[in-house]
Structure 1
Amino acid sequence: MNKTYDVKSVPIPKFSKPIDLAEGKRLYQSRGCGDCHDVDGSGKTFIEDPAIGILSGSNLTAGKGGILADRTDEELAIAIRHGVGKNGRALIFMPSTDFQGMTNEDVGKLISFLRSRPAIDKSQGEVKPGPLGRFLFLIGEIPVFVSAEIINHETTHLANITPSVSIEYGKYVASTCTGCHGFNLKGGPIQGAPPEWPPAQNISKHGLTKYTESNFIQTIRTGKRPDGTEMKFPMPWKSLGQLTDTELKALWMYLQTIQ
């Protein structure tokens, strides 16, 4: 957890048009950034468990206690996609494995949106891994505790990707799901979650046999499964409901290829 990483920065495009900032906002909401950094970007404590630890998202505004004024866009991109902070040290419990494949364009729109937001004065919440959290990390059960350790920092990022109902684009969208559903998307206990959290569902083809494309999309939009039951916390269906029809159809198409 004290290891440092040398990650080369790449130029990140800047955006100012309302349509691009709106897309940055949608990315922030649909990719679940608010789950740790709050809806206004000011950060919040999202896990407070004596065994797992106390984990809080950073204040992503330019206010007092925030990090935005002290980071370049390129440094923010490294934090998002590599899980590495300004000083080269790993960010604790930053799920960069979900975002490592984001294109330069999407990261740029996300960062530009953050910079357009009001400054909020709020101190950084505590980040203190607990004894069980440290142990589970050491035995490989919570790799997200130090996502920088398992990310390929030599990856060449795509400049952009054209949204389409395709397996390729569905795979791009599905990376958002890996933090809870696992890299193989077959579910199970959620990394670092308190014991009372339910396990993530298997969302491979075999785990979705009761779904069609239509009711899969409806479930994400409404939080209600085809049998009428409601998806339980921490399934972030309200965030994922911000995904476009193209994203959801492509996601469904890709999940159907996972055996």
Structure 2
Amino acid sequence: MNKIYEVKSVPIPKFSKPIDIAEGKRIYQSRGCGDCHDVNGSGKTFIDDPAIGTLSGSNLTAGIGGVLSDNTDEELAIAIRDGVGRKGKALIFMPSTDFQGMTNEDVGKLISYLRSTPAVDKPQGEVKPGPLGRFLFLIGEIPVFVSAEIINHERNHLTNITPSISIEYGKYVASTCTGCHGFDLKGGPIQGAPPEWPSAQNISKNGLGHYTEANFIKTIRTGKRPDGSEMKFPMPWKSLGQLTDTELKALWMYLQTIN
């Protein structure tokens, strides 16, 4: 957790048009950033468990205690995609494995949106891995504790990807799901979650066998499964409901390729 990582920065495009800022806001909402950083970006404590640890998202505004004023767009991109802070130290419980494939354009729109939001004065919440959290990390059960350790920091980043109802784009969208549903998307216990949290569902083709594309999309948008049951916390359906029809259809198409 104290290892220093060297990550080369790449130029991140800046955006100022309202349409681009709005897209950055949608990315923030649909990718679940608010689950750890709160709806206004000021950060919040999202896990407070004596065994797992106390974990809080950073204040992503320009207010006192925030990170925007002290970081360039390129440094913020490294934090988002590589899980590495300014001085090369790993960010604890930053799920960068979900965002490592994000294009330069999408990262740029996300950061431009954050820079457009009101400053909130709020100090960094506590980030303190607990004894069980550290043990589970050591045996490989909670890799997200130090996502920087399992990310290829020398990979090339896509400049952009054209939204389309395709397997390729669906795979791009599905990366958002790996933090809870696993890299194989077949579900199981959510890494780092308190024991009372339910396991993530299998969202491979087999796990979604009783869904159609239409009711899959409806479930994501409403939080209700075809049988009328409600999806339980921490499934972030309200965030994922911000995904576009193209994103959801592409996601469905990609999930159908996973057995």
TM > 0.5 fold call: yes
Return the letter of the residue paired with 2:126. Answer: E
Q: Secondary structure at the match of 2:26?
A: helix
Partner residue of 1:78?
78
Return the letter of the residue paired with 1:36. Answer: C
Q: TM-score, normalised by structure 2?
A: 1.00
Alpha-carbon deviation of 1:111?
A: 0.1
Counterpart Cα distance in 2 of 1:81 and 1:53: 23
Alpha-carbon deviation of 1:44?
A: 0.2
Alpha-carbon deviation of 1:117?
A: 0.4
Moved over 4 A (4+): none
Counterpart Cα distance in 1 of 2:30 and 2:219: 15
Give the number of aligned pairs: 259
Return the letter of the residue paired with 1:60. Answer: L
Return the letter of the residue paired with 1:43. Answer: G
Q: Where does 1:141-220 land on structure 2 (aligned, <5 Å)?
A: 141-220=141-220
Counterpart Cα distance in 2 of 1:242 and 1:187: 22
Counterpart Cα distance in 2 of 1:29 and 1:67: 19
Alpha-carbon deviation of 1:136?
A: 0.1
State the Cα deviation string for residues 134-171 of structure 1 (Å, max 9, x = none): 00000000000000000000010000000000000000
State the Cα deviation string for residues 65-91 of structure 1 (Å, max 9, x = none): 001000000000000000000010000
Does 2:221 align with 1:247? no
Alpha-carbon deviation of 1:128?
A: 0.1
Partner residue of 1:51?
51
Alpha-carbon deviation of 1:206?
A: 0.2
Q: Secondary structure at the match of 1:51?
A: coil
Counterpart Cα distance in 1 of 2:239 and 2:142: 23
Return the letter of the residue paired with 2:120. Answer: I
Counterpart Cα distance in 1 of 2:77 and 2:68: 12
Q: TM-score, normalised by structure 1?
A: 1.00
Partner residue of 2:113?
113
Return the letter of the residue paired with 1:209. Answer: G
Q: Secondary structure at the match of 2:207?
A: helix
What are the ranges of 5 or more consecutive residues in structure 1 without an aligned counterpart?
A: none
Partner residue of 1:100?
100
Alpha-carbon deviation of 1:185?
A: 0.1
What are the ranges of 5 or more consecutive residues in structure 2 without an aligned counterpart?
A: none
Counterpart Cα distance in 2 of 1:83 and 1:227: 39
Of all paired residues, the percent bearing the same amino acid is 88
Counterpart Cα distance in 2 of 1:67 and 1:96: 17
Alpha-carbon deviation of 1:256?
A: 0.1
Alpha-carbon deviation of 1:191?
A: 0.5
Does 2:88 align with 1:88? yes
